[in-house]
Amino acid sequence: MDIKIGFNDSPRELIIASKEDQEAIAQRVSEALSAEHGVLDLTDEQGRRVLVRNASIAYVEVGTSTTRTVGFAGV
């Protein structure tokens, strides 16, 4: 699943591919954003950790947990 994080005062966004399910990611984002000086801690598919201060986060878009088909399999 792809997670997009937009930042204050920046036109770029960070995209992280994660193996965690949508509800777990949404819970972690909510907990980090509710803390006054919180940090959002995510791990991508390759095991790399990404730490983002919640003060710099403008939005977080959590993708769906369903896998996408490739080619003509979805037709």
Question: Splitting the chain (75 residues) into consecutive groups of 10 residues, what average pLDDT does each group show?
Answer: 93 92 91 89 93 93 72 65
Residue 36 domain boundaries: 2-67
Answer whether residue 57 is part of any domain: yes
Answer whether residue 47 is part of any domain: yes
Answer whether residue 73 is part of any domain: no
Answer whether residue 49 is part of any domain: yes
Query: What was the pLDDT predicted at 69?
Result: 65
Query: What was the pLDDT predicted at 37?
Result: 87
Answer whether residue 35 is part of any domain: yes
Rounded CA-CA distance 4/51 in Å is 14
Query: What was the pLDDT predicted at 8?
Result: 94
Cα-Cα-Cα-Cα dihedral sign, residues 18, 20, 23, 28: negative
Counted domains in the chain: 1
Query: What was the pLDDT predicted at 60?
Result: 94
Answer whether residue 75 is part of any domain: no
Answer whether residue 43 is part of any domain: yes
**Token representation of residue 52:** 């983002």
15-18 contacts, C-beta under 8 A, 24 or more apart: 16/42, 16/44, 16/50, 17/44, 17/45, 18/42, 18/43, 18/44, 18/45
Query: What was the pLDDT predicted at 36?
Result: 84
Answer whether residue 25 is part of any domain: yes
Query: What was the pLDDT predicted at 73?
Result: 63
Query: What was the pLDDT predicted at 15?
Result: 94
